[in-house]
Amino acid sequence: MRIDPLSKNQIRRVLPLFMATLMLALNVHAEQDSNEYIYKAFATHAAGAQAIPSAETPPPIIVSTINQIDRAKRVQEMIGASDVSSEKNCEDCTKAISAMRYGQCEKKNNYLEDQLQKLASGSSFLSSLMQGPLRSQSIIKAQCLKTSLEMGSTSARNCVGNSYGKSISSPCLSENYFKLITNSFDAVSMCMKNYIAPDESEKMQKLDVRAIYGLINIESGFQINAVSGSGAGGIGQFTSSAISDVNANHIPAVRATLLSSDMPTCHRLSKELLDSPNPIRSDAAASCERISLANGNPVKNMLYTFAYLRGAKLELEEQIFKNKNYLSKFSLSDFDLARIKRALMVWSHNTGRGGILKPTRSLLNSVYRNKLVTNAEEFISQMQNFVEKFPAQFNNSAARRKETSRYFPKIEDTLNDIESNAGGGTCLN
């Protein structure tokens, strides 16, 4: 195989980053004559080759380092970038590489590691996610998922039989755990974007995925076994009633969407994880099914999150945006109207569907009784006030009014923080 040499400029630009990461990975382990390995592995990576011949295969630690470089590429394109802005702050590049280090597991948080190791050597769908690489063109950048897991702080539970057990520390952020979470969300996002936003442009679909990504940050911080005080569990924090809704109204449609995809991954999702009428049971006695690896999580819980939000979107369309009483009140571009729909969709995950419909109607019937909605940002800002002042009966307590009214603004603030901490720009590829 012919390996094109790196140019001097490429070497000058990326060698400090590569060496900094290598030193961390090797812990200055210099007993090997690794210079030749490094150059060949790195040159192959830069040239986009698929593999290095077995005679030249670098030690596993080199492969790990190459993978870290590949992940950092998601934050800033380091090789072959036409935009020289990627070169303007190498200090930030080094920080991004350093941030890719994984957690040192301790006795209190390593309780998933044995299961993850077994999965990594298995043949199930979850196993394939752990065995595969992190995709450079995932809808949400891997660095943002890493930041989410580092920033998130939630109450976690273990399983005792089929029910929740005691409160425990969040799982160790090992490489296996990170790869499972990141590749799971990537697979579900790719397969479910047509379900959450059918017949919409790829740009609109990606913005819906970004909104769901923001929602999950608030709900669970992407911790697989997050459980709230009310018993809501898993990545999307599902209650029994929400699970019942998805089982009754969405599972057949989700299966059909996955099986109609041209991606084999989506077919496998349906056949392996949605192969029963109730892939996650709603009764409290089976609450552990919302969080356990053995039941196909985090993928199942992510699928349910997309499906439930699709239901909210459909109800908002019927009750507000296609309702003859409100249809003519919106004088917005397609982009801005979609922005409002997206905000109400994810807001409803906290308020409940009735809990978002009532304040939306109240706003349209009062402030917009004799005028049109012409500014999406203003409308969303007004919704915060109306969610608090005109709650559904089940959100009427002072605590719930405060929580529900601040829910969507909190998602936006969290997304801004993550995108800032993950190198600026956007989490979308």
Ordered by start, the domain boundaries in the chain are 8-99, 113-311, 323-420
Residue 5's contacts (CB-CB under 8 Å, 6 or more residues apart) are: 43
User: Which pLDDT value is given to residue 104?
Assistant: 81
Cβ contact 356:348 at 8 Å: yes
The residues, any chain, with a CB within 8 Å of residue 177's CB and separated by 6 or more, are: 112, 113, 116, 171
Beta carbons of 180 and 126 less than 8 angstroms apart: yes
313/306 Cα distance (integer angstroms): 10
Q: CA dist 283 to 164, 209, 280, Å?
A: 12, 29, 9
CB atoms near residue 402 (< 10 Å): 11
Q: Are 364 and 323 in contact (CB under 8 A)?
A: no
**What residues contact 44, with CB distance under 8 A and at least 6 apart?**
3, 51, 52
Residue 14, sorted as left (phi over 0), alpha (psi -120 to 50) or beta, turns out to be alpha
Q: Quote the CA–CA distance of 42 and 76 in Å, as a whole number.
A: 17
User: At a CB cut-off of 8 Å and minimum separation 6, what does 166 contact?
Assistant: 157, 158, 160
pLDDT (0 to 100) of residue 135: 86
Task: Return the structure tokens found at 143.
Answer: 């660095």
Contacts of 57 (CB under 8 A, 6+ apart): none
CA gap 350, 308 in Å, rounded: 12
Amino acid at 118: K
How many CB atoms neighbour CB 186 within 10 A? 22
Residue ranges of the chain whose pLDDT lies below 50: 1-98
pLDDT on residue 151: 84
* Angle ∠(223,225,227) on CA atoms, nearest 5: 100
Tell which residue, 237, 209, 221, 251, has the closest CA to residue 342.
Answer: 209
Q: What amino acid occupies position 344?
A: L
CB 353 within 8 A of CB 315: yes
Q: What is the DSSP string of 115-152?
A: HHHHHHTS-SHHHHHHHSPPPTT-SB-HHHHHHHHHH-
**Nearest 5°: CA angle at 198, between 196 and 204?**
75
Distance, CA of 108 to CA of 94 (rounded, Å) = 30
CB 210 within 8 A of CB 415: yes
Take residue 261 and report the two structure tokens written for it. Answer: 């995809």
Coil, helix or strand at residue 168? strand
Token duo for residue 427: 């989490």
Identify the pLDDT of residue 422: 74
Residue 14: the pLDDT is 43
* 162/329 Cα distance (integer angstroms): 49
pLDDT for the residue numbered 100: 59
Q: What is the pLDDT of residues 128-166, one digit of tens each?
A: 999 988 888 899 999 899 999 988 767 899 999 999 999
Q: Closest Cα to residue 143, out of 200, 75, 90?
A: 75
